[in-house]
Structure 1
């Protein structure tokens, strides 16, 4: 139906063209001649149907390698797998070498052996020479010094002088003016002292010194009369010196509240 209508339209168009061409030819002879020579334009053909698909072309060359992708996100930790079945029982191992056992019990005592013959008594050797008699030291050293009056040191930590020797072993070197004991018999000595603070001052320091170095010391920090005592055992070489150094006012009287003693324990 559609193709019949299309043919009718084409024929009508061709008729109109023919009439126009005839009219032009009657007015223009040259145009009429040209029209007669060229002929009428052909009617456009009906569009053909789609052709079949052609064959596939040849494969093109391989493209360049692409840029590597970014690493993917870390996946979640998987759940624990099921416990496996117990393995089969292994074979028995080879028997090890025999070890060393514990010592056995003591065996029975053996039969007594036959005693050998007793040897002859040897001759008595000559008597040895008598040794020399050892020396017994009789050297001694000891003293006790006291104060009978009050003492106020001119400056801090001055040596404490004494006024009387109650006892002094022969050969003991003790200087009352500066209260200095000088060792004449090397050995181990014991020293003791007792010092009474006056009531007029509140502090007292006492130092037992050997060659200027403090051996023991003590202090009193209180109002009124207070006594401080101490002692020490020290080793002395020949010429070493020991004395008391004080800071503060010292009280004493004929009752001898302040004293200093020392004696040799044994020689070295």
Structure 2
């Protein structure tokens, strides 16, 4: 009897339910699936996760367009004066400026016939005329340098009266007269004037009408015509342009 009771006890213990499971020794039919349960309410937000590690640097992007210029910034304070630079080398010596020149003197040849009235007197023996502004063939001076000139005439007068003019472009600027008074020896008549001239102006000496043409020249006495530049208009002169 005892062995039988022990065997029945083992069978009974093996048919007990453990953890809601039916042992294979007591198989049953699967149950009908239950009705799905109602969704529960939304749970509370979880806490932020921990920061991840820094990732590797990405590839540089393309260069953007140039932006609009910004407004000028405020003016800065003046800087301190710099140090004096070294002195430069001495330059080459320049040329000395030479004032423009114009001068002449001419006289009448000996034993020459009296000059014709209303025509330039030819002082045909040139004593000085370095610039060539006086023409002995015409008796005229032609201005090349604008400025103020002085002209002077010295005439030897013998056995007749003399009247002559200094003319500029055909207009008298000064007139002189010597009356003959039956003197046994030659006398003299001199005169001069300052004249303002522009290039191409002409100056000459001319006797008046009538019998007043007593210019005389000999071995011992002369009649001369002189002119020279007193000062030029430098701003208009080709030498100083």
Q: For residues 178 and 226 of structure 1, what CA distance do their matches in structure 2 show?
A: 26
Q: Is the 8 A contact 1:151 1:249 kept in 2?
A: no
Structure 1 stretches of at least 4 aligned residues deviating more than 4 Å after TM superposition? 121-127
Q: For residues 136 and 190 of structure 1, what CA distance do their matches in structure 2 show?
A: 23
Q: For residues 152 and 167 of structure 1, what CA distance do their matches in structure 2 show?
A: 24
Normalised to the residue count of structure 2, the TM-score between the two structures is: 0.52
Counterpart in the other structure of 2:152: 192
Counterpart in the other structure of 2:232: 267
Counterpart in the other structure of 1:143: 104
Q: For residues 175 and 160 of structure 1, what CA distance do their matches in structure 2 show?
A: 11
Q: Deviations over 1:12-57 (max 9, x none)?
A: xxxxxxxxxxxxxxxxxxxxxxxxxxxxxxxxxxxxxxxxxxxxxx
Which structure is higher in helix share?
1
The Cα shift of 1:163 comes to: 2.2
Distance verdict in 2 for CA 1:250–1:180, change over 3 Å? same
The alignment covers a number of residue pairs equal to 144
Counterpart in the other structure of 1:207: 165
Distance verdict in 2 for CA 1:211–1:122, change over 3 Å? same
Structure 1: gaps spanning 5 or more residues: 1-120
Instruction: Point out the structure with max Rg over C-alpha.
Output: 1
Counterpart in the other structure of 1:179: 139
Q: Deviations over 1:129-173 (max 9, x none)?
A: 9xxx7982453211000013343133x33211112101112x322
Normalised to the residue count of structure 1, the TM-score between the two structures is: 0.47
Distance verdict in 2 for CA 1:150–1:250, change over 3 Å? farther
TM alignment of 1:1-268, pairs within 5 A: 122-123=81-82, 136-147=97-108, 148-154=110-116, 156-169=117-130, 171-199=131-159, 201=160, 203-223=161-181, 224=183, 225-247=186-208, 248-268=213-233
Q: For residues 166 and 197 of structure 1, what CA distance do their matches in structure 2 show?
A: 21
Q: For residues 125 and 214 of structure 1, what CA distance do their matches in structure 2 show?
A: 65
The Cα shift of 1:251 comes to: 0.7
Counterpart in the other structure of 2:53: none
Q: Is the 8 A contact 2:134 2:142 kept in 1?
A: yes
Q: Is the 8 A contact 2:156 2:221 kept in 1?
A: no
The Cα shift of 1:180 comes to: 0.5
Q: For residues 254 and 176 of structure 1, what CA distance do their matches in structure 2 show?
A: 20
